[in-house]
Amino acid sequence: MKKSIMVLGALATLSAAGVAMAGGTSFGQVSFGTTVTSGTLVGARNASDSTQFIQCNTYAYDSGNEYGSCYAKNSTGSSRQCFAANAEQLAVMRSISSSAYIAFTIAADGSTCEQVSISNGSNRAQY
Amino acid sequence: MAAATKIAVVASVIGLAAGIGIGVHVAQGKGSSAPVSVPSKPPARAEGGLAATQQGLSAQDREALRDLIRSEIASLKVDAPPTTQPRVPAEQAAAPTPDVADDVAQLSDQQLQTFDAGRSLVDAALARRTWTAADREQLHARVASLPPRLQIDVARPIVAAINRDQVRFDGDGPPF
């Protein structure tokens, strides 16, 4: 494959870089449960720290290959990331909006997305 | 290539093949009690020995070498623990999928070296238990010529270690 692989559609990225905003509530902030990593874009963006982050990306190559990943960082700076090549999971990742709640679980291999869930709703848009 | 250089290369290849052959013979001997890791599919042409030609390696020799490298990569992907890292439980280890193995089999010599270089970077990070944005960028650069699935496969061990809190990721954005 040529070095100049063209990313044709890295277009599903909606990230929520942590922008410190005092007074935000804890609703929707990035959380690492026993199995589920979750958070809202708004919650991460409005967190009182500047660390939280949650996003999903999808990539499409001129070879026809596609893959995606979801990534989150919590308030302590720990990270979780998983990869997906499953078409249905990629479609879910592409459905993210600015009012999205993202949840994903990681398979036993430690790096494959087992389940990806995106919920877009008015209650996710702001506090 | 100078004649002396050709001879040296051919001699090295023959020596390597002989060494592997002796090693396998000794390891499989009756008196051996050491566990031997045998690839599930041994190289098809390695047992035939390597024949040199006036032009350097024959196509058959080249393919035999490639099979050996693939076998080594496949075994490393399953067996190699991080050098100073607590070993991931076997049930959690990421075994290469058949699809990935097929992709590896299609790689050129140059791409195999690229794959190996990427894994070396990852292994070093696993050993020191840190991964940075600079590491991520370096890995992206190293594996850019690989098929996307193999790019991810190279990165999986470090991402899995980060997910298990065995390695700390210092940087903005995703680990890979």
Cα separation, B67 vs B41, whole angstroms: 10
Q: Please give the Cα distance from B1 to B11 (Å, whole number).
A: 15
Q: Which residues pair with A82 in a beta bridge?
A: A70
Q: B56-57 and B130-132 as β-strands: parallel, antiparallel, unpaired? A: unpaired
Q: Inform me whether the C-beta atom of residue A63 falls under 8 Å from chain B C-beta atoms.
A: yes
Q: Is the pLDDT of residue A8 over 50?
A: no
pLDDT digit string, tens, across residues A41-95: 999 999 999 899 999 999 998 888 899 999 999 999 999 999 999 999 999 999 9
B51-86 burial string, b = 16+ CB within 10 Å, else e? ebeeeebeeebeebbbbbbbbebbeebeeeebeebe
- Give the model's pLDDT for residue B10: 55
pTM metric for this prediction: 0.61
Is residue B167 pLDDT above 50, yes or no?
Answer: yes
Cα gap A123→B11, rounded to integer Å: 72
The amino acid that residue B154 corresponds to is V
| pLDDT tens digits along B52-93 | 444 556 667 767 656 665 665 555 444 443 333 333 443 444
Q: Domain limits of chain B? A: 1-66, 80-176
Q: Is A32 on the interface with B (CB under 8 A)?
A: no
Query: Which structural domains are found in chain A, ordered by start?
Result: 31-121 (2.40.50)
Nearest residue on chain A to B152, alpha-carbon basis: A83
- Alpha-carbon distance of B69 to B67, in angstroms, equals 5
Tokens of B150: 């193999």
For B144, the closest of A3, A17, A80 (CB atoms) is A3
Whether the complex's predicted ipTM is more than 0.90 is answered with: no
Mean predicted lDDT score pLDDT of chain B: 68
A6 touches chain B (CB under 8 A): no
Q: Which residues in chain B have Cβ-Cβ distances shorter than 8 Å to A17?
A: 172
